Structure 1
């Protein structure tokens, strides 16, 4: 139980349905769908559409989507809704034209958007309502306007220069060259028109016809390789989640091309190192989690890619032999300088989760990768295109080397935990590369330390920056920072919070749903 005389909030407890998203308007959208009789799948897609309007720097119909769905009987479905590189793209072209790494913005960072196709396939198989109903709130906010919330306004302001350099960005995402102020009204009429077209004509209205032609023209006019055939060929893939056991639960992640395998490797290492037996805020827990994380991320960036080009299977990467070899590199006394991690770009994402009255649980994540993606916005249709191609490498022979028609190693990952074969915890932590560390740390808070979902999300976080220096949030004490420094870690104050997350746990004994939303974002959990 939290201290009620300190800042914070209690988890939300209800039984007829619950939603937790990174924005209150999206949570309200999801609840309205549930109250009308829609199921958790319907509510999740509706909330995602609203978020594409009210958190446009984080997500959009020009991005990608991943989903884990747990049905009431325990049946599990995974959906990889990530787009592929244009068929005409090739790493050799980048090397031949003087690039030493993949561009992180602009036309050459754009991959085909997979989200709308993923939404369509998810609804066709498991939903009960169509885009016409589910997009109603999103269209209303795009046309009539919405209030810009605090975290959104803060993040938006950081993208002004990049948006201002793009004609579509200036037209649709800025007001007289400036980002919208906190509490001001903002409208996206062009995006609203595109959402209306999809609501009427389905995903085909996005991947074929005028919208598709404009997306392609926008990319090609800046030297990119995307074609209308690339868009027409988009197909989200149903996949079987991968898992590991931790704290009496089976923790599920989407398999590669996503980085969910990284979270599972990290949880296996934490179990091996017995981090859950340490004090929750101790320097030793932080040290071991960070060292395990550095190993897990190193594995990711050497081996994880589109599964067609991986040289190791998920089973091999989660095997006792491999985990033991990784754990042997961890010293309990000091930082291991021989562990190397790659560049760690920061990115923007939304995560939401919905559980309905039947305990159907949806873990759902959608993203344009960096803030406003590639910083390219189509002038007529108002679609911000993602820069997910920045996750490829152009290193010759690397499993994640850019090739036409290939999916990049992907950072967005939903998670689900089962107890006795039934959905028990639907959760995710946003924040680009931070996500695997977030999954492991937050889930450990829940099952190792008995924190409720809100406490588990609130707990202070530690992660390394782009230069490898550990960035400590304000809640991490000076004593812990000093001890970590003595162990050989460089530590500084975090310049921004690490990620953000949502969680809903299902109490089978009482029938109640217990929800939480991360204070690092504007969102909330609601139920009834």
Structure 2
């Protein structure tokens, strides 16, 4: 993966090299925490857990202790998948939500709160693959929570945006713990100011000491239950007690000699795989950027329309995944793509607010990990005295009982967060990911084609200007997107709109490994406060 040749765009910074270990994420303090764990004798799995836990403290605008999580872990020549997304409470139903006056799932409050999965992911990954005890691995996060840390400029910006939104909209007393936790001085903390949360520290210590049992069966579960009952919520201690993360088999397609791996539904990773499968059926010159962008956009639109129709809880999907990834289906879908922009519609199958991190060590272990509240701070709810910000993943459920992703008790919803992994000839190339809601499979598609088709090094693959399909024929492009290409796409019928900033185009991380030398090369998101910590 070091044959970096054609560079159609200049990169904003150089890639980072190392050989003993590497951690890439959007917050420097979290990346350094993961690297410190590697230097203490931990492996890549320990480093990933330490980084993930740290991110709940140093980037609470995107994730928290009450988040969901997914992971792809390469160890001893095999790729393992973990689905730690939560389920809907047993007492919830479409009728119950509609009786409260909603025609669609709300974004905030207790209605969209599902069982959080992140603490279970830390415990499960540690127990199965970790080398150091969880009490040691979570120490950096606990220390930052207890002693505080200075906010970076990017973090302060998004923190303040959320504060202003919540201040204007949240007047119910159940939102007061959020303001006490995240705006203790009556405002959002500013760049360079210290923020600390003793509640976070105590909760993380409790999770570390009990292997997350306290979160699902003990005192933290009881506090979640009490808060929910007091405010008309659906989640109960029994929902937490009955929850467990699932080890699953990753799914893949081969794209130009590389195997691209994603987790199966309920995540939207197969959207990226469907699009890549369609693309490889199309012929276009590697350096014809207008044709390349057009066909990438069209393939992605078709893949997304399929994903939105079919993706839901895997227990409610039967043969859809294999059908969606079949070569015959990809060929049929590719024939819909012509020279002009199309209106995307799902195909007919044969019957039958997020943080991402990548970690690697000198032994060959590699981790692709992602966790999220969804929509920034999530539901807007913080369990009193705990620092636990509850996710709002239930917002993606449909209230139409005929939809595949219709709300139901104990069900997993369509999930936006997806980790990715690349292999070639049975050997690991490495983890990659681009966080950011429905931008994620679009980001996966773009960084992979930048890497495989255009031979960009990891940093250049991330830095290249991005586009984002919004709906119909509408495409949002970054301010740095080349204007001649944007105009050419518009002539083909795409409704091109230029964004005022790059905030909605995702934040990615990549680590590739040279299996002959063991050298690691990493790239991080220049649109955020990203860093690659290497050893």
TM-score in terms of structure 1 length: 0.94
Query: Could you say which residue in structure 2 is the equivalent of 1:279?
Result: 287
Kindly indicate whether residue 224 of structure 2 is the aligned counterpart of residue 218 of structure 1: no
Residue 247 of structure 1 corresponds to which residue in structure 2? 256
**Distance in structure 2 (CA, Å) of the matches to 1:312 and 1:104:** 31
Greater Cα offset, 106-115 or 206-215: 206-215
Structure 2: any 5+ residue segments left out of the alignment?
Answer: 348-352
State the match for 2:399 in structure 1.
394
Query: Which residue of 1 is the match for residue 324 of structure 2?
Result: 317
1:336 counterpart residue number: 342
State yes or no: 1:435 paired with 2:440: yes
Do the aligned partners of 1:20 and 1:27 also contact (CA within 8 Å) in 2? yes
Match of 1:105 among 104, 108, 117: 108
Report the counterpart of residue 350 of structure 2 in structure 1: none
Take 2:229 and 2:417, find their aligned partners in 1: how far apart are those partners? Answer: 27
1:70-149 map, 5 Å:
70-71=74-75, 73-149=76-152
Q: List 4+ stretches of structure 1 deviating above 6 A.
A: none
- Structure 1 Cα separation of the partners of residues 320 and 531 of structure 2: 38
Q: Which sections of structure 1, spanning at least 5 residues, go unmatched?
A: 342-347
1:425 shift after superposition? 2.1
What CA distance in whole angstroms lies between the structure 1 residues aligned with 2:415 and 2:56?
A: 19
1:221-370 pair list within 5 angstroms: 221-274=230-283, 277-279=285-287, 282-310=289-317, 312-331=319-338, 333-337=339-343, 339=345, 348-370=353-375
| TM-aligned CA distance change 1:233 to 1:420, over 3 Å | same
Cα distance, 1:291 vs structure 2: 1.1
State how far apart, in whole Å, the 2-side matches of 1:212 and 1:233 are: 12
CA positional deviation for 1:392: 1.1
Check the 8 A contact 1:303/1:311 in 2, yes or no: no
**Rounded Cα–Cα distance in structure 1 between residues aligned with 2:192 and 2:485:** 37
Equivalent position SS for 1:106: coil
- Aligned partners of 1:200, 1:124: CA distance in 2, in Å? 13
Deviation for aligned residue 1:467:
8.2
Contact 2:479 2:500 in 1 (8 A): no
Closer/same/farther in 2, CA of residues 496 and 101 from structure 1, 3 Å limit? farther
* 2:154 is the alignment partner of 1:151: yes
C-alpha RMSD of matched pairs (Å):
1.9
Instruction: Give the C-alpha shift of residue 212 in structure 1.
Output: 1.4
Distance 1:237 1:340, change over 3 A: closer
Normalised by the length of structure 2, the TM-score is: 0.93
Shift in Å at residue 94 of structure 1? 2.5
Which SS does the other structure have where 2:81 is aligned? strand
Contact 2:44-2:366 within 8 A present in 1 as well = yes
- Look up the SS of the partner of 1:13 in the other structure: strand
Q: Which moved more, 1:313-322 or 1:25-34?
A: 313-322
Name the residue aligned to 2:427: 422
Q: Which moved more, 1:489-498 or 1:287-296?
A: 489-498
Question: What is the match of residue 344 of structure 1?
Answer: none
Q: Is the 8 A contact 1:160 1:177 kept in 2?
A: no
